[in-house]
Structure 1
Amino acid sequence: MNATTVPRFWLVLAFFAVYFVWGTTYLANLYALKAIPPFVISALRYLVAGLLLALLAYSKGHAWPQKEEIRDLAISGILMLVGGSGLVVVAEQYITSGSAAVIVATEPLWFVLLDQPRWKLYFSNGKIIAGLLIGFVGVVLFAQMAPANSPHQDQSTNQFLGTVIVLVGAILWVSGTLFAARRIKPGRYNLWHTTIQLGAAGLFATFLALANGEWNRFAWLAVPLPAWGGLAFLILFGSLIAYLAFAWLVTVQPPAIVSTHTYINPLIAVLIGWLAAGEEVTGLQVVALTVVLTGVVLTQLSKIQAGG
């Protein structure tokens, strides 16, 4: 199926999912964190989403991947979903959801820095180098201009710690993505691939929550409805609808078009965090956000023009 045969209605819905839904998952993290520890959130999110997707994959009769693919899918799933998205949840104990989204927006910059086979191509392009520098300067500015109030009443703001955690998460997400791209054969994707990634991530997050004592601190009956609602949103909309929409879009639209969610998600996250959670957004932070996105856009466009 090519882009010309895809109904516009489904394209609009899919782009809405990757633009808006992924942008609102940062706020959903905040609601879930009100009563659920971070790695418990990831464990429940990925295990439940994986189970639901497994039922769908089984009903459609999709072929089970080979042993080597299962191993590689599990590794990439742990890196991306626990190391990447999972650490974002941890970081949102210390920084606002909007701040986390802005830092995650640097992922295209990390793709350039970590994609070693293409370094010669990338670093011979002055615009890519300029984009990298501008993007990271923007992150530093944004961190310095963070509001003084805490995103959680019972925790102190630690912008530096939260920023470092999200940056590590972004690096792990990119590492997992590059690992999967190099090890998983193209053209063989089916629903079991995502199911295995979700299942492996859920089991690893369960282990981390156990080792960290989070399960002992987690009281099922004490979790208020808004926290359960945040977790349900992450499962249904974040890990199923939006992710599957993204996986479908990359098969019917140019990757450069689909990747524009990188620019839209932080804008949505900052706006929703301000409107729904009362997160403070200063004028200087808006300037810093613009700097970050300028660097990301410059890097992405230069990569595309260079054939990377």
Structure 2
Amino acid sequence: MEEKSPSTGNIVFAYLVVYIVWGSTFFFIEKALHSFSPFVLGSIRFIIAGTLLMGYCGLKGYRIFNRADIKQAAFVGFLLLFVDMAAIIWAEQYISSGIVAILSAATAIWFIIFDKPKWKENFSSLPIVFGLLIGFGGVIMLFAEQIFTQSDQAEKSQNLIAMAVLICGTIAWTIGSLVSKYNQRSKSSVKKKQPSLNVMVKTAWQMVTAGCAFTIVALLNGEYALFDARNVSMESWGYIAYLALMGSILAFSSYIWLLQVRPATEVSTYAYVNPIVALILVHFFTNHDVTSLQVAGLVVVLFSVLLMNWNLYKDNRTLRALKHRKKLKRLKHMAPKSSIPRIVEVADFNEKERKKN
């Protein structure tokens, strides 16, 4: 029995969630910071998300415990969801969520620099090297805007520190992602004593780890001692609920599902849309100015991300199909009329053979 292919409506909905919801989380973090201190915000968000996702996995009957997988998930969750998210949340106290989103999109730079096993492949590719240099240029543009802004020296220094902290967070995200990637590969080459945990269970453990880490820091630095839930408005609780349910659970679940039914290179386009969504929300719903230099920085960074992923996109099956169609049209146009049916016949035969293989 053939597996039923997903409907177009479900795919479109999942893309809208990944594009818009993930892009909007930068904005809602900034709004939530009006009522929550940074580490309390992270603590509540990830404890809610981790608990609910773990409960869902339990109801689905997934295995919850596997010492090796939990250990890895805790390490990756600490880097990805605690260090990186802590940097994002803390930085948004001082700089626009739009700038944060643009700098987060520049994470592709660090993947090229820190992925040592792929250095030879990456640094021998002209588009990737060119994209790397352009990406650094875009980041420098955003730093330059803060340096030459008309704000007072103290505010300027604080903004630059926030941006530097954010860069450190994106580096932590990169390292955590690479550790997860290569650890998974090494596991697949070794005979497993017990089956690996479901990806949703691993994500739940990552969220629980982040929630615990945020909670410990919030207790140690006095944020929870100063926190009074009675002073938080319903609107602000709504922001937290949105970040936990929509941003952490629904968007991630949609992302994982899309990776199973669509090409990874196609799904990765969320990296181009998220900062645009964030910048639009900043422009229309906050008092931050979206400057021409920020827009230019966004364009430069996104163009650099495109170049750094060029080798992946050029081999994408959708692009190959489009090239195949263009080539066929050109052959039809150039060939005598009597030969056109034969061209179509050969093209169809080649396509069928590819599908068989």
Q: How many residues align?
A: 302
Residue matched to 1:275: 284
- The 1:4/1:117 distance shift into structure 2, 3 A limit, reads farther
Cα displacement string for residues 128-181 of structure 1 (whole angstroms, at most 9, x for unaligned residues) = 11101101111111232259599xxxx946331121111111111111111112
What's the TM-score once normalised by structure 2's chain length?
0.79
Whether 1:286 and 2:286 are equivalent positions in the alignment is: no
Structure 1 letter corresponding to 2:169: G
Runs of 4+ aligned residues of structure 1 deviating over 6 Å after TM superposition are none
Question: For 1:50 and 1:145, how far apart are their aligned partners in 2?
Answer: 38
Between 1:101-110 and 1:140-149, the stretch displaced more is 140-149
**8 Å Cα contact 2:135/2:304 also seen in 1:** yes
Larger RCO of the pair (alpha carbons < 8 Å, separation 6+): 1
- Aligned to 2:309, the other structure's residue is in SS state helix
Runs of 5+ unmatched residues, structure 1: none
Flag structure 2 segments of 5+ consecutive residues without an equivalent.
189-195, 317-357
Distance 1:79 1:288 in 2: 26
Q: TM-score, normalised by structure 1?
A: 0.92
Deviates most, 188-197 or 128-137: 188-197
CA distance in 2, matches of 1:78, 1:242: 20
Deviations 1:246-289 (A, max 9, x none): 11111111111111111110000000111111321112221121
Q: 1:173 is matched with which residue?
A: 173
Structure 1, residues 100-135: CA drift from partner, whole Å, max 9, x if none?
000000111211111111111101112111101101
Tell me the CA shift for residue 99 of structure 1.
Answer: 0.4
Contact 2:69/2:197 (<8 A) preserved: no
Query: Are 1:62 and 1:190, in contact at CA under 8 Å, matched by a contact in 2?
Result: no
Structure 2 CA distance for aligned equivalents of residues 108 and 174 of structure 1:
8
Using the alignment, how far apart are the partners of 1:113 and 1:212 within structure 2?
34
- 2-side partners of 1:164 and 1:123: how far apart? 25
Matching residue of 2:98:
98
Alpha-carbon separation, structure 2, partners of 1:176 and 1:54: 21
> For 1:36, what is the secondary structure of its paired residue?
coil
User: What corresponds to 2:21 in structure 1?
Assistant: 21
The 8 Å contact of residues 18 and 245 in structure 1, kept in 2 or not, is answered as yes
d(CA) in 2 for partners of 1:290, 1:53:
36
1:61-210 equivalences under 5 Å are: 61-146=61-146, 156=155, 158-184=158-184, 185=187, 189-210=198-219
Q: Which residue in 1 is equivalent to 2:259?
A: 250
The one-letter amino acid of 1:38's match is P
Q: From the superposition, tell whether residues 303 and 257 of structure 1 become closer, same or farther in structure 2 (CA, over 3 Å).
A: closer
Q: 1:208 and 1:143 mapped to 2: Cα distance?
A: 29
Deviation at 1:49, TM superposition (A): 0.6
Residue 290 of structure 2: SS of its match in structure 1? coil
Q: CA RMSD in A?
A: 2.3
Quickly say closer, same or farther: Cα 1:306–1:134, change in 2 above 3 A.
farther
CA distance in 1, matches of 2:291, 2:234: 31
The percent identity for this pair of structures is 33
CA contact (8 A) 1:72 1:180 kept: yes
1:59-118 per-position Cα deviation (integer Å, ceiling 9, x unaligned): 110123421111000110111001112210010011000000000001112111111111
Find out whether 1:45 has 2:59 as its counterpart: no
- SS of aligned partner of 2:201: helix
Q: Is the CA contact 2:91–2:162 (under 8 Å) kept in the aligned structure 1?
A: yes
- The alpha-carbon distance between structure 1 residues 250 and 65, as it changes in their structure 2 partners (threshold 3 A), is farther
Point out the structure with max Rg over C-alpha. Answer: 2
Deviation of residue 56 (structure 1)?
0.8
Q: What is the match of residue 265 of structure 1?
A: 274
The answer to whether the 8 A contact 1:131-1:295 is kept is yes
